[in-house]
Every structure is written in structure tokens, then in C-alpha cells.
Amino acid sequence: MTINLQRTLKKPVDCVGVGVHSGAPASLTLKPAPVGSGIVFVRRDAPAGNARIPARFDAVSDMTLGTTLTNEAGVSVQTVEHMMAALAGLGIDNVTVELTGPEIPIMDGSAAPFVFLIECAGIAVQRAPRKALRILKTVRVADGGRVAELRPSAEPRIDIMIDFASAAIAQQHFGIALTQEAFREEIARARTFGFRHEVEALRAMGLAQGGSLENSIVVDGDHVMNEGGLRYADEFARHKLLDAIGDLALAGMPIIGAFRGERTGHRMNNMLLRALFARPEAFETILLTEPPVRADGPLEAVQTA
């Protein structure tokens, strides 16, 4: 039985884009990080002692139009979910994300550009075992017609259902056993989306200044405005699933269990993690054994001491 080892990057890699809310240039650098350090955001423009922001569920301070993390000094980083989804989807445990300003670049509105960056940097295996949270009992949060839950499962699986009045979206469902290959091929390229009337209202409020047809799907009534159309027929559901992967990655380690979300969003996803960690009997920490994710049988695991 081979223990699955932690992973970081082989070398730094950087990118430049635009902040979806401010419309200002946004840049970041992904850097290798030591064993056990997890994912940490570092604001280059903040005082050195206050610059580090841990990628943890209990650091989430705002879930409006994205997931925002804030440290104890009040320093924040916005829209972390696509970056977190890419790191989680490729099984990266330890990375420092340095950025200038409060926003992660929106890129094309999906996780695919961040997957490309990670693969350009290369993945380095570290000499320490990977840990994961194995779900032992179902944990569920609900708010009206919105539901998010985690339940025991031999393999990581994620299912999403969305329901919108627009005929361009309507009701969609997408579910998949979560492997690195599945993430690359079926999830990473799904773009964020919004409605034209909402975008106009947000811009009037000084938000979504960097949003465009180049970095999001825009729906006008019952029609998709993007000239190239959709990347998948159910791209809307796939992107909601991508968001959930990024939000759940704030648990700090992989989750071995099945996630189900109905009309869920960033707020419900974070509520679910808070509910999970409030119930220690609902999960256990395990050491992962190879392979880290399997679609053809149960995942092996051993309990930590």
C-alpha cells in the first residue's frame, strides 16, 4: 500500500489579467510552498506582517458575487473560487499565491487558465503524506429551496442542480466522479455567467467593471449573447459545480465524500463547511493511499494516529 504524497509546484509561474469587479489590472504569481503549508494568498501591496491570507473556510468574509477571504488584519482577496478549484482539481496541496491588489484575475471566467499555469509550472511531489477528510455522517444545510449536503461515499463525487427562469438555462443537472482527468476535461473550461440586466445594475453600483463577453457568459432574456455560444450544452451547471469545488477546497484538504447541491451558491457552500466542522463526529482525518482518486472502485485510506 503506497501512501499518496503531498504536491506543490516545481517553479514559480505568473499571469496578468483584470479584476472582474474593479476593472483594474490584476496580476499573480504561483510559487512552490513547503510541506503542510496549504494554500496561502499573499498581498504584495499590504504591510508584510498583514499580507498573508489563509485559504480556509473560516476566513471567508463575503460570498456576494464570489468568495472573499479576509485575514485577522482585515486584508482581503476576492473571487478565489476558480483558482482554488484549479488547485484542488489537480491535487495541489501547498502553494503560495502572491498578488497585487484585492482580486484574482478573472481570466476567461473559468478555471482552465489556472490549470494551464499549474501545468506550465510543473507538479513536484513532496516527502509527506496527503491527508483528507472522510465523511462519516451526512451533513446538510438548507434555505428555502436551496440545499447543500455532504454524505459518505467511497469516492469523491459531486452533483449539482440549478434552476433559472430563463429558457437559456432552465433546469440543469450535472454530476461526476471527481478525478483529475474529469476536472480537466469536463469542468475546468466552464465559464461564469450572469444576466445582462444584473450586469448593468452592478456596474451602476461600481461593481462588475471588468466583466465582459470575453470573461463570462451573458444571458439576455432567453438568449446567450456570446458570439461563440456555449462550450458545453450544460455549461451553466458545470460552472456551478466548478464553483462548489473551489469553495469546498477551503476545507484545507480533499474531501472523500459525495456533495450534492440544489440551487446552491457560495454562501450555501460555506455554510455547509461550517456545519461540517461543527460536527466532529461527521468526519475523520485519513492518510490517502495511491491512487488519490478512483472512478473504478473504492478509494483506499488509512486512519491517522
Q: Which residues are catalytic?
A: 266
Q: Mapped to the 3 state alphabet, what secondary structure does 180-232 carry?
A: HHHHHHHHCCCCCEEEHHHHHHHHHCCCCCCCCCCCCEEEECCEECCCCCCCC
How far is residue 204 from each of residues 78, 199, 207, 209, measured CA to CA in Å? 20, 9, 7, 9
How far is residue 76 from each of residues 6, 46, 104, measured CA to CA in Å? 27, 10, 11
Grid coordinates representing 213 are 463577453
Q: What is the DSSP string of 252-288?
A: SS-EESEEEEES--HHHHHHHHHHHHT-GGGEEEEEE
* Distant-in-sequence, close-in-space partners of 176: CB < 8 Å, separation ≥ 6: 157, 158, 159, 182, 186, 187, 241
CB 217 within 8 A of CB 128: no
CB 215 within 8 A of CB 20: yes
Cβ atoms within 10 Å, residue 227: 6
How far is residue 197 from each of residues 41, 156, 218, 219, 221, measured CA to CA in Å? 33, 37, 10, 9, 9
